[in-house]
Chains A and B, each alone.
Chain A
Amino acid sequence: MDCAALLQQYKIPPGIWDEMATASGTRSQYNNIVAALQQYAVSDLQQKDRLAGELFMNQGITFTVYSNNEGIERIFPFDIIPRVITSKEWNHIENGIKQRLKALNLFLKDIYNEQQIIKDKIVPAALIASCPHYTREVFGIKVPYDIYVHISGIDLIRGDDGTFYILEDNLRTPSGVSYMLENREITKRLFPEMLHNNKVKMVSNYPLLLHEILLSLAPQQISNPTAVILTPGIFNSAYYEHTFLARQMGVPLVEGRDLLVDNHKVYMKTTYGLQRVHVIYRRVDDDFLDPLVFKPDSVLGVPGLVGAYRKGNVAIVNAMGNGVADDKAVYNYVPAMIKYYLNEEPILPNVPTYELSDVEQKNYVFENIHKMVVKRTNQSGGYGMLMGNKAEEKEIDDFKKAIEADPRSFIAQPIIKLSTVPCFINGKFEARHVDLRPYALCGPNGIDIVPGGLTRVALKEGSLVVNSSQGGGSKDTWVIDVE
């Protein structure tokens, strides 16, 4: 069978925004891709699918699953059909994210210094005081250029009318950017002519932009500052990404045991003795960074690091304590922050969110629980979540009990039917739900977002959970001009 016939059979689920197909035909941004796909036989695509898997495997872009004491290497599933976003849509997204990040940076500066936003009663003090990620240990620390969020991966979803919503702000150590870059490299192998014909915007300069920002944060004006990436080590599931970025930027990849702090300065242990470190892009969570200040049994961090940070002798990217700004309950206040700090209307809306510590809102959520998704505020990765439309009564009751016991730790949102895109699954084109995570970089010269990002796709039919730990995969994401 050829792909033209297969594309005819592509069915979109009712009441959902499909990024390629409408009831009457194909959206113009997909015209070129559809035309190109029609030239292939199904076996060609299956061949490409296999090749993609091999390329990921051979490059070691894998994660390890342990069972029976044996490690099994798996690749993150990759769907070969690219997801397309028009430049017009992209400009909207880009402006929205820039605006949001500006406000979030101002919020972090405020909340760890004057706390004006609390005094002006925009954000309730109780909300911040009860946030487990509000880090008193870093109160008052001055960070270079007042930038707290250098690297972010803000998650967007698209509702049934095509509106983009902000789902989550990931402001701590967002991962996945290596997949955005590798997915594009793989697509170059699979569909070179399609890339060429669509004039897809480049993403490959991301590591260069990141490197420039890291160097610009060096605390001293020296000609050749040392920036490093701090990784938890080879057993971390994102380790591949850490090595990828180190290689692309040409900076050392260090572990906590490679570093030490002496007289409030950070050094790395080299074969020729100690060498000063000026900037640390850490991929270790706050809690593990410094055993003297946070978890005392952490071996992933560096004793004394917070002291050096407080003295301004080392820059840490992202800043410590950012968790307060991407808390799922604080999320609800980001539109208000945008108004408060920037005096602007939010460009990208939030998903409506119910705070369960408010009795009225809680009652409303309980009455409509089958239309809601309930999330724990302190968990991510698709864990600690209740999908009201799919859950069993028992599960719902358990959640209700947990909410009654500790309402601050939960939020509820109406279930948004994420948009779908065509995926090549088992020799057919099938609609699957996706989100979008663009990667934004904030430096002294402003905010840069490479056009594209990581499209995560829920590969199970009908599933709305895109996290890789829950059977999600990814796609290459193209931003193209459409007349």
Chain B
Amino acid sequence: MLSRIADSMFWLSRYMERSDGLLRTVRTHYILMLDKGVNAHLSWQPVLKIFTQAKDEIISAIKDNSEASLDYLLLDGENINSLKILFAKARENARGVQDHITKEVWEHVNFMYHSINNLAPEHFNHTSVIEAIDTLTNSCILYNGVADTTMPRGLSWNFMSLGRYIERCLLTIELSDKYFSLIDYNIEDEKDILQWRPLLLSLSGYELHLKTYRTTTYNSNTLHQVLFNENFTRSVLYNLIRIERYFSKITKQEPSEKTEALNKMLGRLISKIKYTDFTSLNQKTMPSYLNDTRKELASFSRQLAEQFFSYY
């Protein structure tokens, strides 16, 4: 497969996964803001911080205005991470690899692009915003379904999967870091489960949490879920295991010194997460633990690109 094609497949997947994450977070946030309660001071600031590169003055100008924030996050043409731009980038990548994805996948990505371009800001006012977000979210879910049922399990699929799981893993780390920083990484405290609803709902893990964790040590339970729960599709460990699976499929065909080094790097990262002594995580160690994990994964992703995608 051409390096350029592999690169585009990888990024097509990353943009789609990022869109999915953005939509889930935005929806959760919007709905929780309607409740006045423990989240009384909920603003769009954390979401804007995570998903955009907006300057602080822009953020403080719009953080308490849902319509402006939604517009900025979803439709803004200047925000390079807005949903509209993500869809456009995904489509651009898909267009470049049209002969490597199935007709169904292409047509769906193309459809998503056209449908967001047909949305106007009025679709995001209070009466119709949930409906609009749900339609877009369903479209993302459908994309995953269409890709899953039609794409052949070859090299294309492996690179697409790598993109998806790397993006998802980074997003989980990013979101978790943000929400734990709000309580100053104090995981010994118990807090209220309501405090964790924004994070868990954004990661589609709230129900799993209620079913799995029976104690009231909510802070540490949540941390356990987002990092180590192997049954949770957005946990760091779950995603790292997937990354390793698809990476080994790619390297198995033609191993080299470089791919071997990458393999080891990934192995070390997984072992680190897998064999972490949970009790060692506390207010002091948490920030660097999350930060190191993010850095190592980003570094893996960069070296992956050097090895397989360099074509300039």
Q: Please, which residues of chain B bring their CB within 8 A of the CB of A247?
A: 98-99, 103
> In the complex, what residue of chain B is closest to A255 when comparing beta carbons?
B4
Cross-chain pairs A/B with CB under 8 angstroms, 10 sampled: A234-B95, A243-B95, A252-B2, A252-B5, A257-B312, A258-B3, A258-B4, A269-B4, A271-B1, A271-B309
A270 touches B99 (CB 8 A): no
* A58/B107 contact (C-beta < 8 A), A257-B312, A258-B3, A272-B253 known: yes
Verify B110–A58 contact, CB threshold 8 A.
yes
User: Counting CB contacts under 8 A, is B116 at the interface?
Assistant: no
Quick check: is A73 within 8 A (CB to CB) of the other chain? Answer: yes
B213 at the interface (CB under 8 A from A): no
0/1 string, A203-241, CB within 8 A of B gives 1: 000000000000000000000000000000110000100
- Which residues of chain A come closer than 8 Å to B2, judged between CB atoms? 252, 254, 258, 268-271
Q: How far is the CB of A395 from chain B (nearest CB, A)?
A: 39
Do A60 and B250 touch across chains, with their CB atoms under 8 A apart?
A: no
Contact (Cβ within 8 A) B311 A258: yes
- Cα A344 to Cα B1 in complex, Å, equals 49
Is B98's CB under 8 angstroms from A243's CB? yes
Give the CA-CA distance A247 to B107 in the complex, in Å.
14
Q: Shortest distance in angstroms between A60's beta carbon and chain B's nearest beta carbon? A: 4
Nearest residue in B to A69 (C-beta to C-beta)? B77
- Interface residues of chain A, those whose CB is within 8 Å of chain B, are 57-60, 70, 73, 233-234, 239, 243, 246-247, 252-255, 257-258, 268-273
Q: Is B70 an interface residue (CB 8 A)?
A: no
**What A residues does B95 contact at CB under 8 A?**
60, 234, 239, 243
Determine the distance from Cα of A243 to Cα of B105 in the docked complex, in whole angstroms: 14
Q: How long is the Cα–Cα vector from A58 to B103 in the complex, in angstroms? A: 11
B6 lies within 8 A of chain A by Cβ: yes
Contact in complex: B98, A270 (CB < 8 Å): no
Whether, in the assembled complex, B254 has its beta carbon less than 8 Å from a beta carbon of chain A, the answer is: yes
What bracket does the count of chain B residues touching chain A fall in?
20 to 34
| In the complex, residue of chain B having the shortest beta-carbon distance to the beta carbon of A251 | B99
Nearest CB of B to A64, in Å = 10
Is the Cβ of B114 less than 8 Å from the Cβ of A73?
Answer: yes
Alpha-carbon separation in the docked complex, A272 to B3 (Å): 8
Interface string of B128-158 (1 = CB under 8 A from A): 0000000000000000000000000001000
Q: Is the CB of B110 within 8 A of A60?
A: yes
A402 to B159, CA, bound (A): 56
A243, B95: Cα distance in complex, Å: 8
Tally of A-B Cβ pairs under 8 angstroms: 62
Given contacts A247-B98, A271-B3, 8 further A-B contacts (CB under 8 A): A59-B103, A59-B107, A60-B98, A254-B4, A268-B2, A271-B1, A271-B155, A271-B308
B96 cross-chain contacts in A, Cβ below 8 A: 233-234
Encode B1-31 as 1/0 by CB contact (under 8 A) with A. 1111110000000000000000000000000
Contacts A58-B110, A258-B2 given; does A272 touch B98 at CB 8 Å: no
CB distance from A68 to the nearest CB of B (A): 10
Chain A positions within 8 Å of B99 at CB level: 243, 246-247, 252-253
DSSP class of A's interface residues: helix, strand, loop or mixed?
mixed
Measured between C-beta atoms, what is the minimum distance from B306 to chain A in Å? 12
CB distance from A204 to the nearest CB of B (A): 15
- Which residues of B sit under 8 angstroms from A272, Cβ to Cβ? 253-254
Whether the pair A270, B111 counts as a contact (CB closer than 8 A) is: no
| Nearest residue, chain A, Cβ from B6 | A271
Question: Of residues 293 to 312 in B, which have CB atoms within 8 Å of A's CB atoms?
Answer: 308-309, 311-312
**Residue of A at shortest CB range from B4?**
A258
CA distance A209 to B95 in the complex (A): 25
Chain B positions 51 through 78: 1 when the CB is less than 8 Å from some CB of chain A, otherwise 0: 0000000000000000000000000010
The list of the 3 closest CB pairs from A to B, nearest first, reads A243-B98, A246-B99, A60-B110
In the complex, residue of chain A having the shortest beta-carbon distance to the beta carbon of B111: A58
Inter-chain CA distance A58–B77, complex, in Å, is: 23
Nearest-CB distance from B258 to chain A (Å)?
Answer: 11
A73: nearest residue on chain B (CB-CB)?
B114
Q: Find residues 183-223 in chain B having any chain A CB closer than 8 Å to their own CB.
A: none
When distances are taken between beta carbons in the complex, the residues of chain B under 8 Å from A58 are 107, 110-111
* B106 proximal to A (CB < 8 A): yes
Across-interface contacts of B244 in A (CB, < 8 A): none
Residues of A within 8 A of B107 (CB): 58-60
Of all chain B residues, which has the CB nearest A273? B254
Please measure, in the bound complex, the distance between the C-alpha atom of A268 and the C-alpha atom of B1, giving whole angstroms: 9
Which residue of A is nearest B95, CB measured? A234
In the complex, A58 Cα to B114 Cα: how many Å?
9
* CA gap between A273 and B95 in the complex, in Å: 24
Cβ of B230 within 8 Å of any chain A Cβ, yes or no, is: no
Residues of B within 8 A of A59 (CB): 103, 107, 110
Q: Does B92 contact A (CB under 8 A)?
A: yes
B106 and A60 within 8 A (CB): yes
Residue numbers in B under 8 Å from A270 (CB-CB): 1-3
B77 surroundings in chain A (CB, below 8 A): 70
When distances are taken between beta carbons in the complex, the residues of chain A under 8 Å from B111 are 58
